[in-house]
Amino acid sequence: MAAWSSPPSLRHLLLLRPRLPLSPTCLAGSFSRRHIHSRCRLFSSAASSSTLTHGDAASTHGDADGVVDVNPPRGTRDFPPEDMRLRTWLFDQFREVSRLMAFEEVDFPVLESEALFIRKAGEEITQQLYNFEDKGGRRVVLRPEITPSLARLVIKQGKSVSLPLKWFTIGQCWRYERMTRGRRREHYQWNMDIFGVPKVRAEAELLHAIVLLFQRLGITSSDVGIRVSSRKVLQAVLTMYSIPEHLFTEVCVIVDKLGKMTREEIEKELISTGLSSEAVHGIIDVLSLKSLSKLEEVLGSGVEAVADLKKLFSFAEQYGYADWICFDASVVRGLAYYTGIVFEAFDREGKLRAICGGGRYDRLLSTFGSEDIPACGFGFGDAVIVELLKEKGLLPDMSRQIDDIVFPLDEELEGAASSIASSLRKKGRSVDLVEDKRLKWVFKHAERINASRLILVGNSEWERGMVRVKILSTREEFEVKAGELE
Amino acid sequence: MAAWSSPPSLRHLLLLRPRLPLSPTCLAGSFSRRHIHSRCRLFSSAASSSTLTHGDAASTHGDADGVVDVNPPRGTRDFPPEDMRLRTWLFDQFREVSRLMAFEEVDFPVLESEALFIRKAGEEITQQLYNFEDKGGRRVVLRPEITPSLARLVIKQGKSVSLPLKWFTIGQCWRYERMTRGRRREHYQWNMDIFGVPKVRAEAELLHAIVLLFQRLGITSSDVGIRVSSRKVLQAVLTMYSIPEHLFTEVCVIVDKLGKMTREEIEKELISTGLSSEAVHGIIDVLSLKSLSKLEEVLGSGVEAVADLKKLFSFAEQYGYADWICFDASVVRGLAYYTGIVFEAFDREGKLRAICGGGRYDRLLSTFGSEDIPACGFGFGDAVIVELLKEKGLLPDMSRQIDDIVFPLDEELEGAASSIASSLRKKGRSVDLVEDKRLKWVFKHAERINASRLILVGNSEWERGMVRVKILSTREEFEVKAGELE
């Protein structure tokens, strides 16, 4: 049916990628480009030393000799400096686009009440909760997604906030899954959400944000597309076959598995909810549509689904991102709470899982016992995008960079070095103060960390209140009065 | 004994502050300044509505009607936009100082193996672990501190990293404590750590970083001081009384409680470890010393503790921050693993808990079964510093700020508005696209979000390809060709 292999569920947002065949230490470096080999080598040597165990299952405890596993818990990552620089760079892109779109940043606890995520539609996300009971008997979870927390805060803020409200957040999400499939249990997700805009203008703004991000990253519309549909398409089909309203969510969650399961399995699941086989075929036929005019033919032009989608495509023209988006009725998304437009970005080569996904969820607040507010949003994970950037050669140079290295050539000059470092830092320069090394090491170090200048504090100069400065890019060298260093 | 009321344990690093008497919603606003009243008002009105319950203990579940508690789990915070802006500003200060000091950022999972935090010295921190068993039978914790994760990664990286290694991180830490004392269960902590420098130069650099941060925030050395001592002081006393080495950590953890418990209680605890009452008095007497020369008199000048401290104070002179630090033998710190210099920053008025604290931990790695590397670091929480800044009136203006509001005066101009917003965003301007509001609302909104310009798209101008621009600070108004908007 769908031309893409990856099912449109939230699964991919959880950044689940096949474990590298090498070792979990290498897995930690899904972010890493250049250093992965050295780190894997390291792991091998480390693993062969007697001081390290690599735990599986429950063996992550320290053993009797107090030897502690040096790996983070299974399915999680450390961010050593090179990975952290990449993450910071990516998050900065998320933040910059959010600023362009005039969204405000918010945040929530990574630990939430389980009740926020209890939904009955059989979504994968609620079946893989990283949940437990705390010492006070509360059911809590490491959140699998951020939207319910957003909705919770919107309700809490109540009338003190003025609508529309445009919020973004970047946070870690968790899922508990047996590691047999070798997938990660956490990822970071950029979320942008609009509350209080019932029209598809909100969706048009969200798609604009996603396109702006891709453009900033150097990705073009021939690399990536965004498939768009509406849950109202399915809604209209259910109405055509007089299928009761309460089956809607369940049907959405089932048909979202198209691509993951065979058509026959899907049909069987649909029929087990009580649908006629005529209705089932009607649903599956509509989901294969890839053109809006065909959809209009099938559903009729008065239908909301068609009007919404037409409006959104016309917005796309006006914003100038029409070449990024296409209609695809098979997009349903795996979250139970979507009610209208749904969308997901995909690589056109079809190699990766969806890059991001989202949609309208106008009726989430009432499931929390509050009055509904029209809302839509998306989640954009930190993993698939990095894979894509890697593949396209678009990852920027992430090397370290500092301004000055201050190096006293003699131990008795450590005081002079201190005051020089101190005054340069006060002037806003990043200063690495190095001691007890050979000059040769210092030069190598300067190269490794991309230092701009080397400031050598030597006895003969210091007696005259001078220091020796070496500009590392030009190899120019000169003496400066210590007090006049800028 | 000690002139300060707050005990030198890690407790304060966990940002535990008395719960505001109002409500947990208000607690969430420990970060908030201006909005706390409106939010408390909000909470009261929200709580009186039938749609909300405020759960205690296990009642955070949704109730039978699907009503969900809108508060984050007890002891945790949401960050609505105004609180988030303050947090981002504070973290930016942490990052900027870390850059000046040429430290590299790293990060770790907030979920760690419990084994990393199992220590037997009876520290408060290990007794309040937010720990649980995951579905795979692993003992895991929401980390109470970050140092053990740092040490773990240093071991994992092994010989692939070049020493010295200077890392910083900003991360959330958790503790599980019954909420009877009305304290928060999470806080964010800035950590800076140096591995591979055995000399007190490392401590001198860390103290420089702390002072640079205070200075950036507008805090002076008459507001804040840093008490410094060394665990080697206690070590020397134990040697004087021939107390066995293995009692050292336990003694440190006990005497750290001075100020929290009475002298008599401390003496009793010390005696129960097997110390003679002569030794106990010797220990407690030394801890009352506030001058290095007195310390030298008692311990003798050949002692490492004295030499280290003298060296550190001489560094402080050379860096230029001597007025910030003072010797105070009562500083021991509550973490078991410190081995040398220990320090903590305090407000000179003595109203608050310690602002940050740290020290040398040269033997932590061997407790994980690896070879030791000399190391020291500090943790700097996000709460006490904000309280201090609030008290001193040093919190900056945190209002929202955006560049342009684009407002179509007619629904049929929504396409024009889209293309204008799109082109301005491509030029780097933050654009809030507003629709379906009255002009009066838009002006108020512009004021509230500190917009620089208002761009009105009206029919009569648009027919000529023009838009009306209003500069909101000067109230200047003019027409511009839409294509020429910058």
In whole angstroms, give the CA distance from residue B96 to residue A452.
Answer: 18
Assess contact for A406 and A457: CB atoms under 8 A: yes
At A148 the three-state DSSP class reads helix
Residue B11 binned pLDDT confidence (cut-offs 50, 70, 90)? very low
> Using one digit for the tens of pLDDT, what is the confidence trace for B224-262?
999 999 999 999 999 999 999 889 989 998 998 887 889
Cα→Cα distances A72→A145, A146, B190, Å: 22, 23, 20
Mean pLDDT, to the nearest integer, of B346-365?
Answer: 96
Given an 8 Å threshold on Cβ–Cβ distance, is B369 in contact with A69?
no
| Of residues B205 and A60, more confidently modeled | B205
Chain B, window 155-194: residues with a beta carbon less than 8 angstroms from a chain A beta carbon: 155-160, 162, 166-167, 172, 174, 176, 178-179, 186
Establish whether A138 is an annotated binding residue: no
Residue B65 to chain A, least CA–CA distance (Å) = 7
The dihedral formed by the CA atoms of B208, B211, B213 and B218, expressed in degrees to the nearest 10: -150
> According to the model, what pLDDT value does residue B179 have?
61
In whole angstroms, give the CA distance from residue B186 to residue B76.
Answer: 6
Q: Is the pLDDT of residue B480 over 70?
A: yes
Nearest C-alpha neighbor of B290 from the set B227, B203, B339: B227
Mean pLDDT, to the nearest integer, of B8-22?
Answer: 33
> According to the model, what pLDDT value does residue B334 have?
86
Average pLDDT, rounded, for chain B: 86
In whole angstroms, give the CA distance from residue A439 to residue A410.
Answer: 11
Q: Is the pLDDT of residue A32 over 70?
A: no
> According to the model, what pLDDT value does residue A54 have?
34
Cα→Cα distances B338→A194, B274, B309, B374, Å: 49, 22, 15, 11
Assess contact for A365 and A151: CB atoms under 8 A: yes
Cα→Cα distances A418→A127, A441, B106, B472, B486, Å: 57, 20, 26, 48, 47
At A127 the three-state DSSP class reads helix
3-state secondary structure chain B: CCCCCCCCCHHHHHCCCCCCCCCHHHHHHHHCCCCHHHHHHHHHHHHHCCCCCCCCHHHHCCCCCCCCCCCCCCCCCCECHHHHHHHHHHHHHHHHHHHHCCCEECECCCEEEHHHHCCCCCCHHHHCCEEEECCCCCEEEECCCCHHHHHHHHHHHHHHCCCCEEEEEEEEEECCCCHHHCCCCEEEEEEEEEECCCCCHHHHHHHHHHHHHHHHHCCCCCCEEEEEEEHHHHHHHHHHCCCCHHHHHHHHHHHCCECCECHHHHHHHHHHCCCCHHHHHHHHHHHCCCCHHHHHHHHCCCCHHHHHHHHHHHHHHHHCCHHHEEECCCCCCCCCCCCCEEEEEEECCCCCCCCEEEEECCCHHHHCCCCCCCEEEEEEECCHHHHHHHHCCCCCCCCCCEEEEEEECCHHHHHHHHHHHHHHHHCCCCEEECCCCCHHHHHHHHHHCCEEEEEEECHHHHCCCEEEEEECCCCCEEEEEHHHCC
Chain B CB within 8 Å of residue A363 CB: no
Chain B, window 27-46: residues with a beta carbon less than 8 angstroms from a chain A beta carbon: 35, 38-39, 41-43, 45-46
Instruction: Find where tokens 């100020």 sit.
Output: B259
Residue A159 binned pLDDT confidence (cut-offs 50, 70, 90)? confident
Chain B, window 423-462: residues with a beta carbon less than 8 angstroms from a chain A beta carbon: 425-426, 428-433, 435-436, 445, 448-449
Given an 8 Å threshold on Cβ–Cβ distance, is A73 in contact with B315?
no
Mean pLDDT, to the nearest integer, of A412-419?
Answer: 96
Length of chain A: 486
> Using one digit for the tens of pLDDT, what is the confidence trace for B288-314?
999 999 999 999 888 999 999 999 999
Assess contact for A83 and A26: CB atoms under 8 A: no
Lowest mean pLDDT among A55-69, A178-192, A467-481: A55-69
> According to the model, what pLDDT value does residue A266 have?
92
| Of residues B55 and B247, more confidently modeled | B247
Chain B CB within 8 Å of residue A216 CB: no
Q: Is the pLDDT of residue A59 over 70?
A: no
Lowest mean pLDDT among A241-255, A332-346, B62-76: B62-76
Position B107, amino acid: D
* pLDDT-above-70 percentage for chain B: 86
Q: Is the pLDDT of residue A222 over 80?
A: yes
Contact residues, chain A, for B176 at CB < 8 Å: 134-135
In whole angstroms, give the CA distance from residue B46 to residue B34.
Answer: 20
Lowest mean pLDDT among A415-424, B128-137, B209-218, B404-413: B128-137
**How many other C-beta atoms can be found within 10 angstroms of the C-beta atom of residue A350?**
10
Taken in order of first residue, the domains within chain B and their CATH numbers are 81-392 (3.30.930.10), 402-481 (3.40.50.800)
> According to the model, what pLDDT value does residue A51 have?
31
> According to the model, what pLDDT value does residue A320 have?
97
In whole angstroms, give the CA distance from residue A485 to residue A423.
Answer: 9
Residue A180 binned pLDDT confidence (cut-offs 50, 70, 90)? low
Phi-psi region of A423 (alpha: psi -120 to 50; beta: other; left: phi over 0): alpha
Q: Is the pLDDT of residue B61 over 70?
A: no
> According to the model, what pLDDT value does residue A444 have?
95
Q: Is the pLDDT of residue A358 over 50?
A: yes
**How many other C-beta atoms can be found within 10 angstroms of the C-beta atom of residue B222?**
9
H or E element: which one contains A232? helix A231-240
pTM here is 0.88
Among A80, A158, A414, the residue with its CB nearest the CB of B46 is A158
> Using one digit for the tens of pLDDT, what is the confidence trace for A364-375?
999 999 999 999
Chain A, window 123-162: residues with a beta carbon less than 8 angstroms from a chain B beta carbon: 130, 132-140, 142, 149, 152-153, 155-160, 162
* pLDDT-above-70 percentage for chain A: 86
Q: Is the pLDDT of residue B62 over 50?
A: no
Residue B148 binned pLDDT confidence (cut-offs 50, 70, 90)? very high
In whole angstroms, give the CA distance from residue A290 to residue A329.
Answer: 6
Chain B, window 76-95: residues with a beta carbon less than 8 angstroms from a chain A beta carbon: 76-81, 84-85, 87-88
In whole angstroms, give the CA distance from residue A202 to residue A208.
Answer: 10
Residue B147 binned pLDDT confidence (cut-offs 50, 70, 90)? very high
Among A85, A136, A318, the residue with its CB nearest the CB of B419 is A318
Mean pLDDT, to the nearest integer, of A145-152?
Answer: 96
Assess contact for A250 and A327: CB atoms under 8 A: no
Cis previous bond, B408, omega within 30: no
> Using one digit for the tens of pLDDT, what is the confidence trace for A94-130?
999 999 999 999 999 999 999 999 887 778 888 889 9
Lowest mean pLDDT among B130-139, B180-189, B199-208, B349-358: B180-189
The dihedral formed by the CA atoms of A238, A243, A244 and A246, expressed in degrees to the nearest 10: -50
Given an 8 Å threshold on Cβ–Cβ distance, is A77 in contact with B109?
yes
Q: Is the pLDDT of residue B188 over 80?
A: yes
The dihedral formed by the CA atoms of A116, A121, A127 and A129, expressed in degrees to the nearest 10: -10
> According to the model, what pLDDT value does residue A302 have?
85
ipTM metric: 0.87
* pLDDT-above-90 percentage for chain B: 73
> Using one digit for the tens of pLDDT, what is the confidence trace for A376-415?
999 999 999 999 999 999 999 889 999 999 999 999 999 9
Optimal mutation site among A160, A174, A178, A313, interface B, most CBs of chain B within 10 A: A160
> According to the model, what pLDDT value does residue A58 have?
35
> Using one digit for the tens of pLDDT, what is the confidence trace for B411-436?
999 999 999 999 999 999 999 999 99
> According to the model, what pLDDT value does residue A179 have?
61
Instruction: Find where tokens 């007697």 sit.
Output: A50
The phi, psi pair for A318, rounded to 5°, reads -65, -40
Assess contact for A85 and A398: CB atoms under 8 A: yes
Among A58, A140, A321, the residue with its CB nearest the CB of B73 is A140
Residue B111 binned pLDDT confidence (cut-offs 50, 70, 90)? very high
Q: For residue B130, give every residue at least 6 positions away whose Cβ sits within 8 Å of its Cβ, in sequence order, or none.
A: A134, B141, B142, B144, B174, B175, B176, B185
> Using one digit for the tens of pLDDT, what is the confidence trace for B384-420?
999 999 999 999 988 999 999 999 999 999 999 999 9
Cα→Cα distances B394→B16, B86, B252, B357, B439, Å: 21, 12, 36, 22, 37
Mean pLDDT, to the nearest integer, of A134-142?
Answer: 90
